[in-house]
């Protein structure tokens, strides 16, 4: 799917969509469930990774990320892409 020719970019794309799917599901969860889930994860590590990504925003052409509004259309696109990645992974395992 990645067209940049970068091995790291391709790996980032492959791992991003499953993560993004979980984040979207988390955002749509009941507040109590969301609070429990967020208390289980390593908040400092999430904050650190978000800080790193923020520092790379200009290079990644997403410097306006903090102005993004929630979009059901974008969320659906991300979740469809995550399903596609999962289906491709499962198909590869079947043919091995």
Give the pLDDT score at 92: 75
pLDDT band at 74 (very low <50, low <70, confident <90, very high): very high
Give the pLDDT score at 14: 84
The contacts of residue 2 (CB under 8 Å, 6+ apart) are 9, 10, 12, 13
pLDDT tens column, 36-73: 888 887 778 888 999 999 999 999 889 999 999 999 99
Give the pLDDT score at 4: 62
DSSP designation for 95: T
Give the pLDDT score at 47: 86
The whole model's pTM is what?
A: 0.76
DSSP designation for 65: G
Measured distance CA(15)–CA(1) in Å, rounded: 12
Q: Contact at 8 Å (CB) between 37 and 29?
A: yes
pLDDT tens column, 1-22: 445 678 998 888 888 999 999 9
Burial 21-58 (b: 16+ CB within 10 A, else e): beebeeeeeeeeeeeeeeeeeeeeeeeeeeeeeeeeee
């Amino acid at each position: 799917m990645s067209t940049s020719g970068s091995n790291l970019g391709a790996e980032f794309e492959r791992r991003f969509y499953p993560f993004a799917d979980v984040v979207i599901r988390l955002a749509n969860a009941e507040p109590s469930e969301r609070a429990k889930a967020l208390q289980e994860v390593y908040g400092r590590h999430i904050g650190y990774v978000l800080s790193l990504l923020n520092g790379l925003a200009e290079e990644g052409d997403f410097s306006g990320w903090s102005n993004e509004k929630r979009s059901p259309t974008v969320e659906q696109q991300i979740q469809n892409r995550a399903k596609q990645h999962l289906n491709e992974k499962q198909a590869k395992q079947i043919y091995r």
